[in-house]
Structures are given as structure tokens and as C-alpha cells.
Amino acid sequence: YSIQLFSGQFGIGDSISRLVSKNFIEDSVYFYFETPNYKVQLGKYRSKIEAQKSLREVSKVFKSAFILKPNTKT
């Protein structure tokens, strides 16, 4: 699981990525392009419960943050 913080333009995404890297040091920050937007995601959590704990803190700053379920191919 991961938490998506932003989806949109490069400049804003880059700024958010840097801000998150400084303030949420214990988690991995991912900044990448997925057509047509740049995305900023936080963490690689083993369980949804771990992601929910981080989401509580993150949502204080990023009101629209949400949890992404990992892709599982069977």
C-alpha cells in the first residue's frame, strides 16, 4: 500500500516531493510521471493498517491524500 499525495503539473509535484522528503523522513517518497500527470506517493506499507496510521498524519497537511492498494496480478 502507498499514499497518494498529489497528481498534476510537474512544478507543483516537484515542490511537494521536496517538502514531503524533508517532513516525512521515515517514509519513501516517489515522484513519477504517469500520463497525463506527475504523481507524488509516500511509503510502501505492508498492510492497510500501517498505511492508515500514516494517512492520519499526512492528511493534516494533504487533505485529499488517499491510500492506494497495490496491484496484485493472479
Q: Which residue has the higher pLDDT, 57 or 71?
A: 57
pLDDT mean over 41-55: 94
Cα separation, 31 vs 48, whole angstroms = 21
Task: Give pLDDT tens digits for 2-45.
Answer: 999 999 999 999 999 999 988 887 789 999 999 999 999 999 99
Query: Residues 31, 24: contact at Cβ < 8 Å?
Result: no
What proportion of the chain, given as a percentage, has pLDDT over 70?
A: 96
pTM of the predicted model as reported, rounded to 2 decimal places: 0.87
